[in-house]
Amino acid sequence: MLNQLPNALPEFVDALRLAETRQVLKGQVAVTVMPRLMAALDMPSPARGEVDVDLAFSVDGQGVRRVLGSLHAELDALCQRCLQPMILTLHVNIALGIVRALDEAEQLPDEYEPLVLASVTEGQSLAAIIEDELLLALPVAPLHEEAQCPARTATLDTIVAEDLPPEGKRRPFAVLAGAFGNKNGEKPLKQK
């Protein structure tokens, strides 16, 4: 049976001991204690929000000490299409095998990603473990849903029309229109 620790999550954890005693950690961690995540989100103001954490430490039938669980976060981000603030929702399922060294990581079953302990005598930063998993789950370019993105309302014709010079103004590249044909059905210029 798994034992649930109180809702206040510890700053540091002894992952091996938690696995041996089959502990469950549930609670929240503030995004502000995850500097690499905040830098990756590239927000002009400090990121707000908390990550909901549900982690179960245990030992599987093969003797692998593991961490199973999930993370849920709603993070401030910038849409890379319109460069406006947005809420990025992440749901991350975790299946980590706890190892002491990289050579042990190679022996883990395929269903686990390695959680390499920095030091057996010191605890692991729980926020750093969570931050690593969220960084791996971040999309390369966060985007609003297409129907909700302010940039979607601007069509290509509108953008092109805004860039054209007013009637009667000189158009320095107008001669190129003749080389490639134009909208009036004219044929391209023949090369000599």
> What are the pLDDT digits (tens) for 58-115?
999 999 999 999 999 998 888 888 888 888 899 999 999 999 888 888 889 999 999 9
Q: How many structural domains does the chain have?
A: 1
- pLDDT(137) > 50: yes
Whether 94 is covered by a domain: the verdict is yes
Q: What angle do CA 41, 26, 75 make, to 5 degrees?
A: 15
94: nearest Cα among 139, 129, 120: 129
Question: What was the pLDDT predicted at 97?
Answer: 94
Whether 50 is covered by a domain: the verdict is yes
More confident of the two residues 77 and 162: 77
Whether 192 is covered by a domain: the verdict is no
Question: What was the pLDDT predicted at 52?
Answer: 95
pLDDT level of residue 192 (50, 70, 90 thresholds)? low
98: nearest Cα among 137, 133, 68: 68
Domain that holds residue 21: 3-144
Whether 155 is covered by a domain: the verdict is no
